[in-house]
Amino acid sequence: MSKLVLVRHGESLWNRLNLFTGWVDVPLSDRGIEEALRAGELLKDYRFDVVFTSELIRAIQTAMLIMSRNNSGVPKIIHEGGRMKEWGRVYGEHGKNYVPVYKSWHLNERYYGKLQGWNKDHARRVYGKEQVHLWRRSYDIAPPGGESLKDTAERTVPYFEERIIPELERGRNVLVSAHGNSLRSIVMHIEGLTREQVLRLNIPTGVPLVYEYSGNLRRMGYLREEGFDDDLHLD
């Protein structure tokens, strides 16, 4: 059976500052780097055939740090267009054994529109606690100029079905490094969660969520030092 491993990126610098991040390209904090390396240690004996990430540096960093602890091969970003596609192909023909890494905006974090860069407590003072809570925790209410979780799912789920599931069907093991909301929408799809349930789903940073695939996906659970925790822990 092939395996699917979903990892929410480690803590970013703006996570630490309590800022709405969204599509702002913020790197990992020191703690986030440690979280990614810890995930790499947990996954060091897994063989990965392909990696998918968002286009944001915090997810790419997390994937690369995980793979730095792994013996599957050298991770190599695959450029799917432009001159870099040709130059990357030349390297691939003459380089070491590598694991392809595909990055896509479809896996980006939920786009927070006007709120991006705002401190969350400041947003509550400006718009009120209830309104900010609705934007953050409702399924289909978007912040000004931004995406709801429903909007996010409309780009993540088709990408998951069209690009990631076929890799599992070929018997390949897949690592996906992405974000809290992009992964929540994918897990909602996999698990068949209701709108109410997905709003209670909080995927922890840097903790691998592992599935086995054999015609369908079966949750093994969060991989921790002490073993698998197969509870999604809906808050």
Catalytic sites, residue numbers? 9, 109
Judge whether 153 and 189 are in contact, CB under 8 Å: yes
Chain position carrying tokens 């509550």: 124
Residue 125, CA distances (Å) to 76, 132, 144 in order: 45, 9, 16
Q: What stretches of the chain show up as alpha helix (H) in DSSP? A: 13-16, 30-42, 57-67, 83-94, 120-127, 129-137, 149-159, 165-169, 180-191, 195-198
- Could you give the strand order of the β-sheet that contains 174-178, starting from the edge strand earlier in sequence? 74-77, 98-103, 50-53, 174-178, 2-8, 209-213, 217-224, 227-229
Residue at 195: amino acid letter: R
DSSP SS3 for 12 = strand
Positive or negative torsion for Cα 235, 142, 12, 57? positive
Q: Which residue has the tokens 């088709």?
A: 158
**C-alpha separations of 117 from 15, 20, 194, 219 in Å:** 11, 5, 30, 35
